[in-house]
């Protein structure tokens, strides 16, 4: 088990680790306010596609703790607020819609809080199961002792269990197939440097941090055997949106003939869209580029371009690992 956790339902409140403070401080926040949870998702105190969905599910449930009337209007208000937090991660909408379906089937509103808490916990339990299955299926990508490169954060801080791509890496290490992990710092918010490095250190897996622009020379020098990342939304053709910089990795992997994999639960597959050009990309405030840790590092009036995600075309992805199976290109059979 992890010796840290991202979220926990405790004493009728959500207890979560503020990821914006990591790795220098481990600060846990306890709240029973759905608006505070929505704000935490927007501010990236809570982040990672599966974890966002889990957090939103508990936010809906917790919001009913003291509601005694007007249940339908309250649900719609809370649902819309949480749906507005992050547009790209499809897991958010999967969890919200699952909670909505549960709510719409409640016959006695006196039981609403307990029923919704039970459903939120079921979503968390399912994501933990997905993590375990992804690690087991994903372990088959290793054929020798390997150096692995990863981008952004895909561990317990982003999902449930040991995460998605991180879970594959951890099982590979435990089985003796992962020799070393290279971690992209993941600009501009440094999820790799701050969060993945934190989780690798906690799990005693050897690693080296590099800036995003150093991945190509590392591959050129023959130091990378494979790359694996997570995803926030996968189209039916396999086009995959993930943290900005992932597309760069897939391109240089293709040039250097290095396999590039994605690991994500099946809830990340958006079965309503055919291809990546239909994925809505979230754009962040340019201040995230021009400042760090609240401190200005350059002229605040500079023009910026700040997408939070990019889309990797399916043909650049050697395999997509879910809890259901390992899929190879072409991915149009994911239905």
Look at residue 107 and give its three-state secondary structure: coil
97 is catalytic: no
Look at residue 286 and give its three-state secondary structure: coil
Is residue 262 within 8 A of residue 320, CB to CB? The reply is: yes
Phi, psi (rounded to 5 degrees) for 311: -115, 125
Radius of gyration of the chain (CA): 20
Is residue 31 within 8 A of residue 38, CB to CB? The reply is: no
Is residue 226 within 8 A of residue 192, CB to CB? The reply is: no
Phi, psi (rounded to 5 degrees) for 305: -125, 115
Looking at the chain, list the stretches that DSSP marks H as alpha helix, in order from N- to C-terminal side. Answer: 34-42, 49-63, 71-83, 90-104, 112-138, 165-174, 191, 197-202, 215-220, 246-256, 287-290
Gap between the Cα atoms of 132 and 161, Å rounded: 7
Residue keyed to tokens 């935490």: 40
Neighbouring CB atoms inside 10 A of 208's CB total 14
- Which residue among the candidates 184, 212, 225, 232 is catalytic per the annotation? 232
Is residue 156 within 8 A of residue 200, CB to CB? The reply is: no
Look at residue 144 and give its three-state secondary structure: coil
Catalytic residues: 232
């Amino acid at each position: 088990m992890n010796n840290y956790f991202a979220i926990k339902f405790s004493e009728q409140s959500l207890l979560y680790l503020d990821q914006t403070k990591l790795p220098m401080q481990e600060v846990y926040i306890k709240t029973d306010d759905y608006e505070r949870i929505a704000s935490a998702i927007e501010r990236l105190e809570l982040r990672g596609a599966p974890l966002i969905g889990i957090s939103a599910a508990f936010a809906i449930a917790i919001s009913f703790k003291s509601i005694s009337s007007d249940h339908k209007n309250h649900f719609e208000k809370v649902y819309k607020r949480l749906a507005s937090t992050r547009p790209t991660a499809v897991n958010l909408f999967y969890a919200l819609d699952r909670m909505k379906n549960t709510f719409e089937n409640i016959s006695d509103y006196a039981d609403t809080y307990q029923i919704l808490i039970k459903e939120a916990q079921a979503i968390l339990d399912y994501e933990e199961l997905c993590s375990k299955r992804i690690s087991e299926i994903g372990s088959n990508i290793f054929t020798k002792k390997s150096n692995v490169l990863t981008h952004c954060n895909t561990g317990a801080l982003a999902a449930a269990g040991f995460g998605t791509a991180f879970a594959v890496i951890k099982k590979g290490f435990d089985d003796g197939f992962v020799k070393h992990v290279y971690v992209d710092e993941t600009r501009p918010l440094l999820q790799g440097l701050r969060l993945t490095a934190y989780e690798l250190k906690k799990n005693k897996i050897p690693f080296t941090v590099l800036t995003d622009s150093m991945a190509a020379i590392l591959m050129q020098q023959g130091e990378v055997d494979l790359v694996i990342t997570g995803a926030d939304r996968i189209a039916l053709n396999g086009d995959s949106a993930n943290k900005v910089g992932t597309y760069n990795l897939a391109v240089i992997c293709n040039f250097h003939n290095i396999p590039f994999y994605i690991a994500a639960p099946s809830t990340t597959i958006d079965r309503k869209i055919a291809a990546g050009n239909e994925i809505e990309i979230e754009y962040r405030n340019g201040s995230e580029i021009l400042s760090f840790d609240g401190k200005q590092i350059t002229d605040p009036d500079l023009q910026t371009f700040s997408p939070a995600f990019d889309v990797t075309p399916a043909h650049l992805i050697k395999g997509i690992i879910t809890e259901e199976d390992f899929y190879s290109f072409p991915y149009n059979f994911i239905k």
